[in-house]
Structure 1
């Protein structure tokens, strides 16, 4: 893999840390800025909304610009948004910086995915994708607990400064290492042609499956601390270790899947998806056991990100004629899932079914993805058989 990919992964690590670290900073932000805890928590929702809207919108804006200049600009805006957030005493300004940072993050990730595919070629797209997403999984393992510790001992602003500092070496690396070609490729197509590629049924199915799998992942991950304390009986001081265990599993899953998702994507998706559904079902019944919870946190993290990263690679393959917009749509689909999953988990908790029912929702979402994928695959085979 080219060194440039690992430098881009450093930027993705910083951005992933920023996206997830607020879960440990909300109380401090609420107290410092004089707002309610739900208001401070809405900063996370604002970031997710910015990612959903920003991924396709930002890619359309930079479709024919240099990938080096585009990545540099997005990362610079992301850095400056965190500097402004660290300095402000206004909740409204902080909310605005989160939206701006999300737009920049969405644009950066979309261009980075297209750049990774262009650097390695179609036979190694899955592995290149796994390197980039490895930055996100490492953010769960190292960045989020680190941000929480900084917030606890030095205040929430220190975590924002740390994210800005992480962006500096990545900014230099982008300027020096990323090729200057167009992020959408060097072909002289137009926006209408690229949008036509995105309407292909194969790509739409892959994006829908990615949203469902990611919804299942974040449904349980968002409430994993509650499940562990209320059902399993894990003491609160051990919750960061449990979350880090899930993150470590996700890093392993992304790395291993990257080795196989190019040559054998169907076994990874079918086998991994079936195992993922079975794992969430088992978690529903075994959540009261501490050893089972620890093992399943690692295993489900690995399976979730193995299947998810493979689906992203398939999206890039399915829309090879519009790699930049495909990356933007994949980013948006994953964030739709990241918003849908916690909402669905919250519904069953508020409905009186309790935290134990949350993994069951994840299992149902993966089962729905498996059924939808099987139906789409069967329809494709039938259409091919009936074609002259």
Structure 2
């Protein structure tokens, strides 16, 4: 039923419907006492938890709740009226958001989510998407529609109210926690990137990596709190305008690191099953995040050398703490790549050899070492490694990587020529 013309509480005159969300209709209303405009959301009485939630929350990016009205069947939330359009409307209208805009909006969203998650009990939003983000005429981004938000500790079990394409996998199992909001956050930033999302790796690798981590399917493999995400976004924001010219050699090298880390994330599920190994994963990713800083991508040679030294120190420290085969293998692999950045090819080769000594069945490791030998023109060593690889092929595990495929292709071509 359209409420236009209805006067609620003898004060709020309903003018026109302006939208729908979270199980209720939203109307524009005029305050007959003050003469100002408010938004009025009509929801079933059974869903009035949103009203209770809004009464407890206060943040610049949340529309203020002004009044609450309830009858036998419905309740009405009188809220601050935000003039503007949702980011979803902008996207459907063909808007292309710049990196600066995406980072700015990400900062504003992460700020309100940090506020949510820091409350006692924490608040989990659960349904972040561009349509629930209103860009006001004042330039501020507002988070609207708290109909799916819940209070809870650790994992809160509830029916999934997320939106397909944005909801985290665990929501379909009735679970929601802080990592769930981080997933929807990553998916929302990805949507703002639009069709150019695949080019984000080149446009801003730091942002690409942040979104990639946020959107991991397993909750334990994402960033674990929004404060960390906020800190990383702040760093990206500060350095975004330092350089617009990408150093292609650095980009190529960063591609190697990204491939190594991607393989690690996708194939090392056994590393996140317990507290010890999960700590290892967190510490390792803290180190590899160094490669996605703007100083490394666009900085001077001295800047990159400094970051490589930081990474080397962190990896060696981690190496002393971790002695399991899988852990040692991963550390040595990244130490080798780090040495390549430093143009210390002797050390890089040593680390690759040590990596295969720790795990002689590591198929993808042969590809990583083989492509290193190919890049550095070590043909004889490369041929010897290929011979060893072929002799052990039936004993090797089923790990794969882009470098393994490239190496196999190059070595097969070389054999055909000879």
TM-score after normalising by structure 1: 0.29
- Whichever structure has more helix as a proportion of its residues is 1
TM-score (norm 2): 0.27
Whichever of the two has the greater Rg, that structure is 2
